[in-house]
Structure 1
Amino acid sequence: MCLFSYDDDPDPDEQALAGLLLYVPVRPEGAGSVLRLFRTPLGERTAVGFTRRDLMIATLGPGQQAMVLAEPALRALTVPLGVGRLVVDPVLSARAVTAESVDVPVRAL
């Protein structure tokens, strides 16, 4: 323990932001929620976070649930899972596969 205090030392009672706050997509699982992981176009697993809820809804739909996490906390959760990439505010996503999109007739060559 240090007995001396300096002017540039942070006050322990002051709360500082722990990094960028992100809306992180989750899915309900049992009594809680589970972090959703995604894949890049090249197949690499990635965590995704959005700086605004409306951006998340525009990309993933209105039914998407989320939790707010600081960027370092999100990285701390995903690194042990082997996920080192974090994409913030992705703008492109593929539409979900539905029965209508699968029933496209194919011509024989």
Structure 2
Amino acid sequence: MPEHRYGDDSEPSDRSPAGPLYVPVRPGPSGCVARLFRTPPGHRTAVGFTSARRLTATLGRGQAWIRLAEPALRALTAPLGVTTVTVDPRFSAPAPGPTPAPAPAFPRRIARIA
């Protein structure tokens, strides 16, 4: 039996539970918080993976996770206005790097030597 029952469809029309998912989390004020992502068109989505191997292949070994059933993940993110759960996304953008220092607002004055 395949690990992922929905093939490439990350949002099945029948909304059947995907089963226990590996959900990426980040530290929050009261423990861990589910990470939210954006779809290519820019909509927010919750993300779950059907295996820890798939999660680490996409987000890296350092990504913390918890196990949640799909209905629990939907219930957790619904109050935030997030109604989509993406299962086993294949790609993610790299984490942003350090922000370069801003350029000075005005160029420095160079003293003339007479």
Q: TM-score, normalised by structure 2?
A: 0.67
Post-superposition, which runs of at least 4 consecutive aligned residues in structure 1 deviate over 3 A? none
1:34 counterpart = 2:13: no
| 3-state secondary structure, aligned to 1:68 | strand
Shift of 1:19: 5.6
The root-mean-square deviation of aligned C-alpha atoms, in Å, is 1.9
Q: CA deviation at 1:31?
A: 4.8
Equivalent pairs counted in the alignment come to 84
User: How do 1:79-90 residues align onto structure 2 when only pairs under 5 Å count?
Assistant: 79-90=78-89
- Structure-to-structure mapping, 1:6-85, within 5 angstroms: 20-85=19-84
Structure 1 residue 79: Cα displacement: 1.0
The one-letter code sitting in structure 2 at the alignment partner of 1:45 is R
Q: Secondary structure at the match of 1:63?
A: coil
1:34 CA drift (Å): 0.9
Distance in 1, Cα, partners of 2:18 & 2:35 = 20
- Structure 1 position 93 matched with structure 2 position 76: no
TM-score by structure 1 length? 0.70
Any unmatched runs of 5+ in structure 2? 1-16, 101-114
Q: Which runs of 5+ in 1 are unaligned?
A: 1-17, 103-109
